[in-house]
Structure formats: structure tokens, C-alpha cells
Amino acid sequence: MSVLSSIGRIATQYAAARARHRSERILLSLPAELRKDIGFPDLFDARNSRRATTFSTKVI
């Protein structure tokens, strides 16, 4: 793996993350009624709950 391919991969991931965050900000700026109609709060909550379970600090 060359340095340039690594930089390209990192740049692609960064661009995707920026686009995802920008979309979330735009959706969060919509009125609550409209967000409810398109199902955004449910999708947002589901994704956050998956993050919480992924990074659980519970020790077995």
C-alpha cells in the first residue's frame, strides 16, 4: 500500500463523514413535525443506540 493510496483513502473517509454530518445538521434544523414525517428521529436514535452498545464499558 503506497502512501498516496493511504492518503486518498483517508481523504475519501473524511469527505464522507463531512457529508454525513452536514446532512444531519440540515435535518436537525427542520421543524420537528417535518422530521417526524420523514422518520428522522427514529433513524437518528437507532444509530446512536448502536453506538452506545458498540462502545459499552461493561466488563464481563
Instruction: Examine residue 60 and state whether it is found in any structural domain, yes or no.
Output: no
C-beta atoms surrounding 35 within 10 Å? 17
Judged against a pLDDT cut of 70, whether residue 2 lies above it is answered with yes
Comparing 1 with 31, the larger pLDDT belongs to 31
Instruction: Examine residue 30 and state whether it is found in any structural domain, yes or no.
Output: yes
pLDDT at 58: 52
pLDDT at 51: 53
Query: What's the total number of domains in the chain?
Result: 1
Domain region containing 15: 3-54
Name the amino acid, one letter, at 13.
Answer: Q
Sequence-separated (6 or more) residues with CB below 8 Å from residue 58? none
Q: What is the pLDDT of residues 4-46, one digit of tens each?
A: 999 999 999 999 999 999 999 998 899 988 988 888 866 556 6
Instruction: Examine residue 35 and state whether it is found in any structural domain, yes or no.
Output: yes
pLDDT at 12: 95
User: What global pTM score does this model have?
Assistant: 0.56
Instruction: Examine residue 48 and state whether it is found in any structural domain, yes or no.
Output: yes
Instruction: Examine residue 59 and state whether it is found in any structural domain, yes or no.
Output: no
